[in-house]
Amino acid sequence: MILKALCIGDNNVDIYEEQEIVYPGGNCINVSVYMSRNGCKTGYIGVVGNDYMGDLQIDSIKKEGVAVDRVKRFSDFPTANAIITLKDGDRVFGEYHPELHEAHPVCLLEEDMEYIRQFAPDVIHSCYYSFLEPGTLEQLKRAGYFISYDYTEEWKEEDFPNKAPYVDIVFLSCPLDREGDVKAILKKIVLDGAKMAVMTLGAKGSVLYDGREFYEQEAYRVEPVDTMGAGDSFISKFLESYCYGMKQTEEALNNIEGTGQKCPDIRSYKENLIRYSLSQAAVYAASNCMNKGAFGEGIAYRKVP
């Protein structure tokens, strides 16, 4: 049994100006790569430029086993990019250039939906930076897919009702200067329609709310080489662990129902699976902090006029 994941939306290369090196990256690309590394069949839908940075993105994810059949390329703007500096191993974002995404937001045409149907993903992931055409999450949810969405650090409470009803699991992160009542925020997201919500808190760990109870997970502390991709690796490992566990469970329940017997209550199983998935996500995120860049091999930075 293989878990299938499709990531739709953003990507950007990470430019480490001080080292004059560029790494592939971006939330949706990172999640697709990490899930591929953990044994999933993955694909990515998005846009890149007709430039060396776009070549880097496509070549890098293809090497990681990610399907790129629906990646589109454009020449009017460079591939989205972010300027990165490192401070004691912690990545700090500088200028961000998403003009390509702004000019060409992801719009799922019928041929895209047919591709998605053929791919048959167990989970579809997107994020705040994905520049999806309005209604895209609703379109995917109506089609019956399990949807994951990352609000990143840019979440706004007033936006929760717009997306939460079409999302099964919401991720968001909380920088130190935005700490507040984490549990109240997670409750609001679930009340607004999401099935589960997870807040990552950096070195303070993470908290998940499933509509019934809260689950807290400590962080695995390391001296990081580079924290780039830590949040994305947390998301990917949680999704891989949780969704694969639920896929196995659904198959088992179908077998039981096929005999005409009543299925057992699996609430305790789900609780244990959530705890397991959070712990796996925390370990994987810590491990990913031992590498330079989010993933892949960096190349020399060539400044574009």
Report the CATH number at residue 86.
3.40.1190.20
pLDDT reported for residue 176: 53
pLDDT in tens, 70-81: 999 999 999 999
The pLDDT value recorded for residue 42 is 98
Residue with the bigger pLDDT between 145 and 260: it is 145
- Report the alpha-carbon distance of residue 154 to residue 260 in Å, rounded: 48
Tell me the C-alpha to C-alpha distance, in Å, between residue 247 and each of 1, 171, 239, 252.
Answer: 9, 20, 11, 9
Name the nearest CA neighbour of 75 among 46, 104, 39.
104
Range of the domain at 108: 4-300
pLDDT of residue 50: 97
- Indicate whether 253 belongs to any domain: yes
How large a percentage of the chain has pLDDT more than 90? 82
Is residue 65 predicted with pLDDT exceeding 70?
yes
pLDDT at 82: 95
In a domain, 305, yes or no: no
> What is the rounded CA–CA span in Å between residue 89 and residue 292?
9
Q: How many domains is the chain built from?
A: 1
Band (230; pLDDT cuts 50, 70, 90): very high
| CA distances, 197 to each of 3, 74, 183, 215, 253 (Å) | 21, 35, 10, 10, 25
Q: What is the pLDDT of residue 89?
A: 78
Mean pLDDT value across residues 240-260: 88
pLDDT at 61 over 90: yes
Q: What's the pLDDT at 91?
A: 83
Q: What is the pLDDT of residue 219?
A: 94
Could you give the CA distance from residue 271 to residue 25 in angstroms, rounded to a whole number? 32
Can you tell me which residue has the tokens 């019928």? 110
Give the pLDDT confidence score for residue 86 in this predicted structure. Answer: 81
Name the pTM for this structure.
Answer: 0.95
Least confident range from 17-26, 168-177, 230-239: namely 168-177
CA distances from residue 53 to 13, 108, 136 in whole angstroms, order as listed: 7, 24, 27
Query: Which residue type is seen at 54?
Result: G
Domain for residue 182, yes or no?
A: yes
Q: pLDDT tens digits for 141-198?
A: 999 999 999 999 888 889 999 999 999 999 999 865 555 689 999 999 999 999 999 9
* In-domain check, residue 248: yes
- Residue-wise pLDDT for 105-144, tens only, equals 999 999 999 999 999 999 999 999 999 999 999 999 999 9
What percent of the chain lies above the pLDDT cut of 70?
97
Please count the other Cβ atoms lying within 10 Å of the Cβ belonging to residue 44. Answer: 29
> Does position 98 have pLDDT exceeding 90, yes or no?
yes
Q: In the structure, what pLDDT confidence band is assigned to residue 305 with cuts at 50, 70 and 90?
A: low
- Tell whether 113 is covered by a domain: yes
> Which segment, 88-102, 172-186, 211-225, is predicted with the most confidence on average?
211-225
pLDDT tens-digit readout, 263-303:
778 888 899 999 999 999 999 999 999 999 999 999 999 87
pLDDT at 175: 64
- pLDDT, the chain, mean: 93
